[in-house]
Amino acid sequence: TDKDGLVTREEPDGWCLGDWCTPTNVEVPAPLVNTAYFYYCADIMAKVAKTLGRNDDNLRFSELAKGIKVNFNNAYYNPSKQSYWEGRQGADVFALAFGLVPEENYHAVFGSLLTHLKNINYHFDTGILGTPLLLKVLSQNDRDDIAYQIMNQKDFPGFGYLLDNKNSTLWESWNGDGSRCHPMFGSVVEWFYAGIAGIKVDPAHAGMKHFVIEPKFISDLSYCKSSYNSLYGKIRSEWKRSPDGNLQILIEVPENTSATYVLPLNKLQIKDDLGENVVGTEVKGKRQVQFKSGVYRFEVL
């Protein structure tokens, strides 16, 4: 790191690319991206140490992460604009995704991100690192409608532009320069599983012994059908919108596991396949239903 605590190079004579392959010239500072990941790694190490009961290591990495967060905000947060750096090319996304935004500023920074996306007509302006994180941040804030809009853009820069009727593979860059068989932008498929289908890891339980299903019922979609092969077996999350607007749900919870199904509070009633009401609990502004192993079909009104 430099005198300000920012990661200015990855290794001796390293490239220090930061984010890479943005639609136009990469302008987001590489130290912003690298320092954000430095914080992210330190935070993970603190959590791992805590889980393992290594209190000294937990304290050491927690203090390291705390210092990185201070340095990052001192260097890049712009209080007058309520955004990081210039709020472009994923600068706000890295801060929001990794927990670098102080709690009191979070909603303002997320609002700045939404304004920026509107100004660029809901397209990507991010590279290989910021692109999947943008979708993740939008989904975490229940704006999967915007994520869906961005993912469906058919002009440059967008996936509809990459995968038109003349192309069948992902490119290295948004404009087609370089390799035209490059998997790195395929990282966005995580959002299909964790966002639209809602299959998510519960960090409190190893190996998806317990997991979360929190699907996002995007109005422009009529159905979702997905599965994930976990260590315990197949997890399924399916939903279909009926003509009356109700949702037909099917989930599968593997043997020896359990799941929490999460719904918006405006979904007022849940009925099982016998027409009986399913009891849910309000938690943090959403409705949660607990399921043990099995295959379940129910309707959400």
- Structural contact between residues 270 and 300, judged by C-beta atoms closer than 8 angstroms: yes
Instruction: Report the CATH number at residue 222.
Output: 2.60.420.10
Q: Where a domain ends, among 161, 178, 193?
A: 193
The fraction of the chain above a pLDDT of 70, given in percent, is 99
Answer yes or no: do 225 and 115 share one domain. no
pLDDT value at residue 261: 96
Answer yes or no: do 93 and 167 share one domain. yes
Answer yes or no: do 81 and 218 share one domain. no
- The DSSP symbol for 99 reads T
Q: Does the CA dihedral 57-61-62-64 come out positive or negative?
A: positive
Answer yes or no: do 204 and 188 share one domain. no
- What element of type H or E holds 266? none
- In this prediction, residues 78-105 reach a mean pLDDT of 95
Strands 281-283 and 270-272: unpaired
Output 260 or 13, whichever has higher pLDDT. Answer: 260
Answer yes or no: do 211 and 90 share one domain. no
pTM: 0.93
Answer yes or no: do 184 and 249 share one domain. no
Between the alpha carbon of residue 275 and those of residues 30, 165, 243, the distances in Å are 56, 45, 18
Which range (24-33, 140-149, 186-195, 262-271) has the least confidence?
262-271
Alpha carbons 97 and 190: distance in angstroms, whole number = 14
Structure confidence by residue, pLDDT tens digits, 198-229:
999 999 898 999 999 999 999 999 999 999 99
Instruction: Report the CATH number at residue 123.
Output: 1.50.10.10
Domain count along the chain: 2
- pLDDT band, residue 268 (cuts 50/70/90): low
Q: Where a domain ends, among 163, 193, 223?
A: 193
Q: Where a domain ends, among 143, 164, 193?
A: 193
Answer yes or no: do 188 and 258 share one domain. no
- What element of type H or E holds 42? helix 30-51
Answer yes or no: do 132 and 67 share one domain. yes
- For the record, the structure tokens of 64 come out as 């390291």
- Domain presence at residue 10: no
Answer yes or no: do 174 and 277 share one domain. no
pLDDT value at residue 274: 65
Answer yes or no: do 36 and 182 share one domain. yes
- Domain presence at residue 109: yes
Is pLDDT of 4 > 70?
A: yes
Owning domain of residue 284: 198-300
For residue 198, give every residue at least 6 positions away whose Cβ sits within 8 Å of its Cβ, in sequence order, or none: 212, 213, 214, 215, 216, 237, 262
Mean pLDDT of the chain: 92
